[in-house]
Amino acid sequence: MDLHKEVLEHEDELIYLRREFHKIPELGFKEFKTSEKIYKYLKDLGLEVEKITQTGVVAVLRGEKEGKTVMLRADMDALPVTEDTGLPFASENEGIMHACAHDGHIAMLLIAAKILSNKKDQIKGAIKFVFQPNEEDAGAKYMVEDGVLEDPDVDAVFGIHLWSPIESGKVGISSGPFMGSHENFELKVKGQGGHSGNPHTAVDPFLPLANIIQSVQMIQTREIDILKPTLIMFGQINGGTAPNVIPGELEVKGSMRYLYEGGDDSEECPEKRFERIVSNICKAHRADYELEFFPSNSTLINNEKTTKLVEKAAEDVFGKENIVNYVCMAGEDFAEFTAKVPGTFYFVGAGNEEKDCTYPHHHPKFDIDEDSLKLGVEMHLKSVFSYLNR
């Protein structure tokens, strides 16, 4: 069974599919055209296909022999970014762009499904092909709630992200904590408005807010072990109407990430530490506050056993010298799956300076080295066979 040769035979279609999906980017839970194209493609392969979680699609391939069930996942949603690549297959939807390689993920999984659908006699067990909506805003959580891991029950899950920070031809894999927990927060600091010439008659919210922005940084370096990476970032401040008016309220928004299992209800978790500082600073300044956290995803933790299978497959596809031990603080809702069943998520390098494919994800000029697509397909195939037929 020469999987490498078979993938190469489908490379033209693989690139064609990626470009077709790149042209029609759609935001989370609005992937209507994308979903329909995927559904039809999988139906034409003779698979059991159903819609789930609004625009999600799940297809099941059952091998001729009994065995376990493995799940492969691709995300479908695009971003509210205006494309500036100049590509001949650039986005046709103004203000929306596949700036995170999800178009490539779809294409890779469809071709993997096509190749595997012709190998039922060689498959021991079942394969679920999952096309997930709204990855950018925790769509996996809703798929789990809707039963994506059931009927048949999933025993292991694998996922790939094409990744421009890693050079094309390399792969990033690591067991244990792999991608950061991520949640956003909104903080309102409430003072008392007044005239800037008479600040003693008001309660200026700028002072406590400035103090909060600086003071919470000590959580990362003074309260939590430096070997447990933690990030508290502020991204937006709103408030005020004029330079000579003390506003009654200021609002700040930001994000919190950590690369360990730290999100609990104890007083030691980062969220509780954050609120302790906010509360005491506001009290010192005679101000009030409102604080709300919006969880996006938990820490993505790769299972040791499934990761070893992926590493073995990567040795065959990339060569041992091109395997990079890699972790990052970016969030990924694939963590919802690995929290329930053993699984591994990993990065296939898609950066290439010669092809101008080095822009960061979510950038208007973001693009991938399309040579990485075939490597992703082969990794899907070898991971499946390694798990089901071991």
| 361 annotated to a ligand binding site | no
Closest CA to 74 of 138, 136, 10, 161: 161
| Region 23-39 average pLDDT | 98
Annotated catalytic residue, options 26, 31, 75, 77: 77
Query: Residue 267's pLDDT band (boundaries 50, 70, 90)?
Result: low
State the pLDDT at residue 138.
Answer: 85
100 belongs to an annotated ligand binding site: yes
Lowest-pLDDT range of 21-35, 258-272, 322-336: 258-272
Query: 279 falls in which pLDDT band (50, 70, 90)?
Result: very high
Q: What is the mean pLDDT of the segment spanning 118-140?
A: 95
What is Dmax (Cα atoms) for the chain? 82
- Please tell me whether 380 is known to bind a ligand: no
Q: What is the mean pLDDT of residues 3-19?
A: 97
357 assigned binding-site residue: no
Q: How confident is the model at residue 227 (pLDDT cuts 50, 70, 90)?
A: confident
Would you state the pLDDT for residue 264?
52
Which pTM does this prediction carry? 0.90
Q: What is the pLDDT of residue 295?
A: 83
Percent of the chain with pLDDT over 90: 91
Tell me the C-alpha distance between 317 and 57, whole Å.
28
* Separation CA 254–CA 292 (nearest Å): 11
Tally Cβ neighbours within 10 Å of residue 84. Answer: 14
Known binding residue 182? Answer is no
Determine whether 77 is an active site residue: yes
Residue 233 has pLDDT above 90, yes or no: yes
More confident residue, 167 or 1: 167
Domains of the chain: 3-178+299-388 (3.40.630.10), 181-297 (3.30.70.360)
pLDDT score for 265: 54
pLDDT tens digits, residue range 293-330? 998 888 999 999 999 999 999 999 999 999 999 999 99
Average pLDDT over residues 142-150: 97
Give the list of residues 6+ apart from residue 355 with CB closer than 8 angstroms, or none. Answer: 367, 369
Among residues 31, 83, 103, 135, the one annotated as catalytic is 135
- pLDDT at 144 (0 to 100): 97
> Residues 206, 213, 81, 334: is their CA dihedral positive or negative?
negative
Q: Cβ contacts of residue 24 below 8 Å, gap of 6+?
A: 33, 34, 91, 92, 93
State the chain's mean pLDDT as an integer: 95
Residues 6+ apart with CB under 8 A from 242: none
